[in-house]
């Protein structure tokens, strides 16, 4: 948690800062520094001095340590420690400080030191925090969010502020959205889903359990506590209205609860104070945050919500363990050409849809692109020349663009028409369909592609930049090679004088050489003495009388003449004027582009979406994915489904990934999957969820056919011992998360339970697994895949009409097991742990001994009833018997009748029984048990 960057009252009297500030011997500049430092006590202050940003005192020590830079001392005040970085390289150093958790205050010179009378004026021009400062080295395919949280309402019963509002702002692109709700779990999920770097919170809620949970579980997020004033409705909403307009606020109000609007306003105030404090105007004329022009309301629950656990478990964004992005679902999907497309793809994956028409609109676009490969190629080729337009706009608007940014913008705008034309062509589908194709289905058309293709390509702006800037301009605004000759007459004139003057100086040098016969004579320049004629010591006797001495150096004397002095004045004033004119023109240029931020953003968003659709089409055709049928009618039917990531890895290794069918419907909603370790249970569950998520994004899926009924949420829970990598997996955590799933899941949800109950003893674990499965079956009704090593659980299907058994097949061959990777009907009934141990290379004696022990244990278990007795107990309990009766039954049954009943059950070929026979058998067995 970093402290607030709010200005604070001056430090306490015994503070070293205060002492230093009170010290009368301070130089005026150090006094200037101390004043800033006192206003931002928690932050590192970077203080501009000439070409460097300097830090002093403790800050200098911190920076020397964090940045590997040299710790020195002020020449005037020897006891003042100092460490500095060159101003042109400051961004990289800033990134490292922010990464190390520091808040950094940048103090810049806001007047030209040459023109300053006395002390140069300096002001805070930027406050950098994790959420506002975009590290130039960060992955451009990830958004960079600042988020802000506000609470409101008051529930009478809970006596707490139950309403919450969350706003999310990406300062680099201007993306700004907000949401509100009341469900605490959903709030947590939403904060996690944004992946924001910094969360702003009203300091009054510092100890709120909801904040405590964020602090505990999201270690990468900085929580910044703000003064409650910042969350006062009046000022924050006022600020928001100033940015997005009164109408924008009214619109937001109809879609969201008040806290969301307050949170958005607070985020804006914070971002403005950090990125563009009023004092920065002096060095960034015309800069604004005008790229933020609207606030988009959204509801997390309007799409498919994949909870935090599931996101990690399914490896949507990162592989578990090493965090590798390429071995995640996003890694396989993100074939977008541009960084903007990459970010949009990540957003689509984070926010899958739930509305079938919206999903089908995306599918149409992908299908249309797949069906016209030449247009798809041209679309992607065109995008190759498209730069990160969203962030370019951000830089232009915030006054931080350099000339080459505008050239990138021009190139982007120049290639946009080709991209849009390709989209327009694909939008109408293939025009040369064969008779067979025509028979196979209706023409593939995409209304969405047509809309995107119709976006304003902003050609006027590209022409304007083209006219003004050189093709390869310098980024140095003091350079003469930025604007095209002929663009601005005033600039041309001063450039002419400056260059001309330089030619005249070169001529003068030749003339003096000739007249004095000093071959080594040179006209040179330095910033302190200006132009001078340099003559080396041995030639001094040849110097003519009209030369005036200017300076003596080691081996030479420096002179000037009246003629040189006149030329010098001419050249220097011309150069000064040229720099001034260039800067003015550049500011004018960027401001004139900034005015069009809204149009440019619309274009950027269209290009990004086309890029994503193109990438989805590309992946679909490269990997033979198919278009799933998405509808409101519940079931999931997948034929020949594959795991999208493992399939790619298998391909790379030249191995075969075995496809599988799976069906989950209302009638078969609880699918219990058994099979030995390593058979492929987890894989088939995950691939089912991944295919469902892909379908909700509008993507094609790895299968031969697929039908996906829309879902509201996907949950996963992995048994504790399978989840050790997270380092905090206790049985308690496993159970509390299972509880949360039971609380939040609905009949529209998909739940994956992978070996839950593992974290405790067999009896406990089995009982819990059993009860959880039963509860989901009877009360929740969610589609559930339940992988388990408790074979007893397969008995659930006897009582539960909507539960089915599946197993992943293996074959025994020569005392070895062969994994077939095929999901088949019915339960498996044998533990293959010992064979797996053999495969894993355990010594033969150990494996043999294990088999002996297993055999004897199995024999005992048969006698004692063992785990099956527990299964029985759970079932009896469900039948509504009292505790005493159960105990009685259990104790009695386990000694006598239960052995018999179990033996009967074990030998019954269930598949051979008719329902009537099964019922009769059950009645008989229960009667037998009740006898005792």
Binding site for ligand ADP (CB under 6 A): 646, 657-658, 675, 677-683, 821
Q: How many CB atoms lie within 10 A of CB 372?
A: 22
Distance set, CA 465 to CA 22, 409, 494, 689, 873 (Å): 53, 8, 22, 48, 79
Which of the 8 DSSP states describes residue 771?
H
Contact stretch for Mg ion (CB under 5 A) within 16-24, 158-166, 435-443, 674-682: 674-682
Please report how close the Cβ of residue 640 comes to ligand ADP at its closest, in angstroms: 11
Q: Is the dihedral of CA 314, 319, 323, 327 positive or negative?
A: negative
Question: Whole-angstrom Cα distance, residue 63 to residue 54?
Answer: 10
Please report how close the Cβ of residue 746 comes to Mg ion at its closest, in angstroms: 26
Could you write out the DSSP letters of every residue in 22-82?
Answer: H-TT--HHHHHHHHHHHH-TTSEEEEEETTEEEEEHHHHHHHHHHHT---EE-SSSTT-EE
3-class DSSP state of 125: strand
CB nearer to ligand ADP: pick between 446 and 788: 788
CB nearer to Mg ion: pick between 587 and 677: 677
CB nearer to ligand ADP: pick between 217 and 651: 651
3-class DSSP state of 810: strand
Answer whether 111's CB lies under 8 Å from 281's CB.
no
As a dihedral over the C-alpha atoms of residue 131, residue 134, residue 140, residue 142, rounded to 10 degrees, the angle is: 0
Please report how close the Cβ of residue 678 comes to ligand ADP at its closest, in angstroms: 4
Question: Whole-angstrom Cα distance, residue 43 to residue 15?
Answer: 16
Contact stretch for Mg ion (CB under 5 A) within 457-465, 526-534, 676-684, 727-735: 676-684
As a dihedral over the C-alpha atoms of residue 199, residue 202, residue 204, residue 210, rounded to 10 degrees, the angle is: -40
- Residue 683: name its binding partner from Mg ion, ligand ADP, none (Cβ under 5 to 8 Å by kind): ligand ADP
- Residue 646: name its binding partner from ligand ADP, Mg ion, none (Cβ under 5 to 8 Å by kind): ligand ADP
Place of tokens 């563009």: 276
- 688 sits near Mg ion (criterion: CB under 5 A): no
CB nearer to ligand ADP: pick between 244 and 817: 817
CB nearer to ligand ADP: pick between 473 and 644: 644
Q: Which of 125, 179, 682, 868 binds Mg ion (CB under 5 A)?
A: 682
Q: CB neighbours of 304 closer than 8 A, spacing ≥ 6?
A: 352, 353, 354, 693, 696, 710, 711, 712, 713, 714
125-152 as b/e: b if 16+ CB within 10 A: bbbbbbbbbbbeeeebbebbbbbbbbbb
- Bridging pattern class, strands 803-813 and 670-674: parallel
Question: And the tokens for 544?
Answer: 């003519």
- Residue 675: name its binding partner from Mg ion, ligand ADP, none (Cβ under 5 to 8 Å by kind): ligand ADP
Contact stretch for Mg ion (CB under 5 A) within 92-100, 109-117, 186-194, 682-690: 682-690
CB nearer to ligand ADP: pick between 670 and 684: 684
- Residue 678: name its binding partner from Mg ion, ligand ADP, none (Cβ under 5 to 8 Å by kind): ligand ADP
Please report how close the Cβ of residue 747 comes to ligand ADP at its closest, in angstroms: 26
| Beta strands in 76-162, from DSSP E residues, in sequence order | 81-86, 104-109, 122-128, 146-152
Contact stretch for Mg ion (CB under 5 A) within 147-155, 322-330, 378-386, 677-685: 677-685
CB nearer to ligand ADP: pick between 131 and 644: 644
Q: Per DSSP, what are the bridge partners of residue 717?
A: 753
CB nearer to ligand ADP: pick between 262 and 678: 678
Please report how close the Cβ of residue 762 comes to ligand ADP at its closest, in angstroms: 18
Question: What are the phi and psi torsion angles at 888 (to 5°)?
Answer: -60, -50
CB nearer to ligand ADP: pick between 10 and 839: 839
Please report how close the Cβ of residue 126 comes to ligand ADP at its closest, in angstroms: 49
- Residue 131: name its binding partner from ligand ADP, Mg ion, none (Cβ under 5 to 8 Å by kind): none
CB nearer to ligand ADP: pick between 674 and 797: 674
CB nearer to ligand ADP: pick between 618 and 821: 821
CB nearer to ligand ADP: pick between 144 and 758: 758
- Residue 658: name its binding partner from ligand ADP, Mg ion, none (Cβ under 5 to 8 Å by kind): ligand ADP
Question: Whole-angstrom Cα distance, residue 627 to residue 614?
Answer: 15
Please report how close the Cβ of residue 819 comes to ligand ADP at its closest, in angstroms: 7
687-709 as b/e: b if 16+ CB within 10 A: bbbbbbbbbbbbbbbbbeebbbb
CB nearer to ligand ADP: pick between 222 and 660: 660
Please report how close the Cβ of residue 321 comes to ligand ADP at its closest, in angstroms: 13
Could you write out the DSSP letters of every residue in 542-589?
Answer: G--TT-EEEEEETTEEEEE-HHHHHHHHHHHHHHHHHHHHHHHHHHHH
Please report how close the Cβ of residue 324 comes to ligand ADP at its closest, in angstroms: 16
Q: CB neighbours of 184 closer than 8 A, spacing ≥ 6?
A: 164, 210
- Residue 243: name its binding partner from Mg ion, ligand ADP, none (Cβ under 5 to 8 Å by kind): none
CB nearer to ligand ADP: pick between 702 and 781: 702
3-class DSSP state of 811: strand
Distance set, CA 886 to CA 597, 797, 800, 875 (Å): 73, 22, 21, 10
Please report how close the Cβ of residue 684 comes to ligand ADP at its closest, in angstroms: 7
Residues 427-486 that bind Mg ion (CB under 5 A): none
- Residue 380: name its binding partner from ligand ADP, Mg ion, none (Cβ under 5 to 8 Å by kind): none
- Residue 744: name its binding partner from Mg ion, ligand ADP, none (Cβ under 5 to 8 Å by kind): none
Please report how close the Cβ of residue 677 comes to Mg ion at its closest, in angstroms: 7
Judged by CB under 5 A, how many residues of this single chain contact Mg ion? 1
C-beta nearest to Mg ion: residue: 682
Question: And the tokens for 312?
Answer: 């990690």
Question: And the tokens for 649?
Answer: 């890895």
Contact stretch for Mg ion (CB under 5 A) within 560-568, 589-597, 675-683, 860-868: 675-683
- Residue 657: name its binding partner from Mg ion, ligand ADP, none (Cβ under 5 to 8 Å by kind): ligand ADP
Question: Whole-angstrom Cα distance, residue 851 to residue 163?
Answer: 59
CB nearer to Mg ion: pick between 392 and 752: 752
- Residue 670: name its binding partner from Mg ion, ligand ADP, none (Cβ under 5 to 8 Å by kind): none
Please report how close the Cβ of residue 680 comes to ligand ADP at its closest, in angstroms: 3
- Residue 821: name its binding partner from Mg ion, ligand ADP, none (Cβ under 5 to 8 Å by kind): ligand ADP
Please report how close the Cβ of residue 331 comes to ligand ADP at its closest, in angstroms: 16
Question: Whole-angstrom Cα distance, residue 785 to residue 551?
Answer: 88
Please report how close the Cβ of residue 651 comes to ligand ADP at its closest, in angstroms: 11
Question: Whole-angstrom Cα distance, residue 672 to residue 678?
Answer: 16
Answer whether 439's CB lies under 8 Å from 399's CB.
no
Please report how close the Cβ of residue 739 comes to Mg ion at its closest, in angstroms: 22
Going across the sheet that includes 44-49, the strands are: 72-73, 81-86, 52-56, 44-49, 104-109, 122-128
Please report how close the Cβ of residue 643 comes to Mg ion at its closest, in angstroms: 13
CB nearer to ligand ADP: pick between 391 and 821: 821
CB nearer to ligand ADP: pick between 380 and 822: 822
- Residue 197: name its binding partner from Mg ion, ligand ADP, none (Cβ under 5 to 8 Å by kind): none
Please report how close the Cβ of residue 135 comes to ligand ADP at its closest, in angstroms: 36
**Closest Cα to residue 714, out of 746, 741, 740, 751?**
751
Which residues of the shown chain bind Mg ion in the complex (CB under 5 A)?
A: 682
């Amino acid at each position: 948690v970093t402290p607030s960057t709010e200005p604070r009252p001056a430090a306490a009297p015994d503070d070293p800062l205060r002492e230093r500030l009170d010290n009368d011997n301070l130089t005026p500049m150090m006094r200037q520094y101390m004043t800033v430092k006192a206003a931002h006590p928690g932050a590192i202050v970077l203080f501009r001095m000439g070409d460097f940003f300097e830090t002093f005192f403790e800050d200098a020590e911190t920076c020397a340590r964090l940045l590997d830079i040299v710790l020195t001392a002020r020449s005037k005040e020897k006891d003042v420690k100092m460490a500095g970085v060159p101003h042109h390289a400051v961004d990289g150093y800033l990134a490292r400080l922010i990464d190390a958790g520091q808040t950094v205050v940048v103090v810049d010179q806001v007047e030209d030191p040459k023109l300053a009378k006395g002390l140069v004026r300096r002001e805070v021009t930027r406050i950098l925090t994790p959420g506002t400062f975009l590290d130039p080295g960060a992955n451009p395919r990830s958004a960079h969010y600042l988020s802000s949280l506000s609470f409101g309402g008051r529930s009478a019963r809970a006596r707490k502020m139950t309403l919450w509002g969350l706003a999310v702002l990406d300062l680099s692109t201007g993306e700004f959205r907000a949401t509100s709700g009341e469900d605490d779990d959903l709030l947590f999920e939403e904060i996690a889903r944004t992946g924001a770097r910094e969360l702003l919170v009203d300091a009054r809620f510092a100890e709120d359990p909801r904040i405590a949970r964020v602090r505990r579980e999201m270690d990468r997020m900085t929580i910044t506590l703000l003064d409650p004033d910042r969350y006062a409705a009046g000022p924050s909403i006022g600020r928001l209205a100033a940015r997005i307009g009164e109408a924008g606020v009214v619109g937001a109000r109809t879609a969201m609860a008040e806290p969301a609007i307050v949170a958005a306003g607070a985020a804006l105030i914070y971002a403005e104070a950090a990125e563009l404090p009023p004092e920065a105007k002096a060095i960034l004329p015309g800069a604004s945050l005008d790229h933020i022009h609207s606030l988009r309301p959204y509801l997390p629950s309007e799409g498919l919500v994949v909870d935090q656990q599931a996101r990690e478990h399914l490896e949507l964004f990162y592989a578990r363990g090493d965090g590798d992005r390429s071995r995640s679902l996003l890694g396989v999907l993100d074939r977008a050409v541009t960084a903007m497309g990459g970010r949009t793809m990540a957003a689509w994956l984070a926010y899958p849809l739930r509305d079938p028409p919206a999903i089908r609109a995306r599918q149409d676009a992908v299908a249309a692109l797949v069906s016209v490969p030449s247009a798809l190629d041209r679309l992607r080729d065109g995008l190759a020349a498209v730069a990160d337009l969203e962030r370019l706009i951000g830089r232009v608007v915030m006054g931080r663009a350099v000339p080459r940014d505008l050239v990138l913008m021009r190139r982007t705008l120049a290639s946009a028409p080709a991209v849009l034309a390709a989209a327009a062509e694909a939008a109408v589908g293939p025009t040369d369909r064969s008779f067979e194709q025509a028979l196979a289905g209706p023409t593939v058309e995409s209304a969405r592609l047509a809309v995107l293709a119709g976006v304003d390509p902003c050609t006027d702006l590209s022409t304007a930049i083209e006219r003004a800037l050189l093709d390869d301009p310098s980024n140095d605004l003091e350079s003469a090679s930025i604007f095209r000759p002929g663009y601005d007459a005033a600039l041309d004139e001063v450039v002419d004088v400056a260059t001309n003057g330089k030619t005249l100086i070169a001529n003068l040098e030749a003339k003096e050489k000739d007249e004095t016969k000093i071959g080594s004579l040179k006209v040179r320049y330095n910033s302190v003495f200006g132009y001078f004629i340099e003559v080396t010591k041995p030639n001094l006797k040849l110097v003519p009388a009209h030369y005036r001495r200017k300076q003596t150096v080691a081996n030479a004397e420096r002179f000037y003449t009246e003629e040189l002095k006149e030329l010098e004045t001419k050249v220097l004033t011309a150069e000064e004027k040229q720099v001034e004119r260039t800067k003015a023109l550049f500011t004018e240029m960027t401001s004139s582009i900034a005015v069009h931020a809204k149009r440019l953003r619309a274009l950027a968003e269209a290009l990004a979406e086309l890029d994503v659709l193109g990438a989805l089409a590309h992946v679909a055709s490269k990997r033979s994915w198919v278009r799933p049928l998405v509808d409101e009618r519940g079931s999931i039917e997948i034929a020949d489904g594959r795991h999208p990531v493992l399939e790619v890895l298998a391909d790379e290794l030249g191995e075969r990934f075995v496809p599988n069918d799976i069906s989950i419907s209302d009638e078969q909603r609880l699918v219990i999957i058994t099979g030995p370790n390593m058979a492929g249970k987890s894989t088939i569950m995950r691939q089912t969820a991944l295919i469902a998520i892909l379908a909700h994004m509008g993507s094609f899926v790895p299968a031969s056919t697929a039908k996906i009924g829309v879902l509201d949420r996907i949950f996963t829970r992995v048994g504790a011992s399978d989840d050790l990598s997270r380092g905090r997996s206790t049985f308690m955590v496993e159970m509390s998360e299972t509880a949360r799933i039971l609380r939040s899941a609905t009949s529209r949800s998909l739940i994956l339970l992978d070996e839950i109950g593992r974290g405790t003893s067999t009896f406990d674990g089995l009982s819990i697994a059993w009860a959880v499965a039963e509860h989901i079956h009877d009360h929740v009704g969610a589609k559930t895949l339940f992988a388990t090593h408790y074979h007893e659980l397969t008995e659930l299907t006897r009582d539960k009409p909507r539960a089915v058994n599946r197993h992943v097949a293996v074959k025994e061959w020569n005392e070895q097991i062969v994994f077939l990777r095929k999901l088949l009907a019915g339960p498996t009934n044998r533990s293959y742990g010992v064979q797996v141990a053999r495969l894993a290379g355990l010594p033969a004696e150990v494996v043999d001994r294990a088999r002996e022990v297993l055999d004897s244990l199995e024999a005992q278990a048969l006698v004692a009833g063992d785990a099956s007795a527990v299964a029985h107990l759970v079932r009896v309990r469900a039948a509504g018997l009292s505790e005493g009766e159960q105990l009685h039954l259990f104790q009695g049954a386990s000694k006598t009748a239960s052995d018999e009943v179990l033996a009967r059950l074990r030998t019954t070929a269930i598949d051979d029984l008719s329902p009537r026979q099964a019922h009769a058998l059950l009645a008989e067995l229960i009667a037998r048990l009740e006898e005792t």
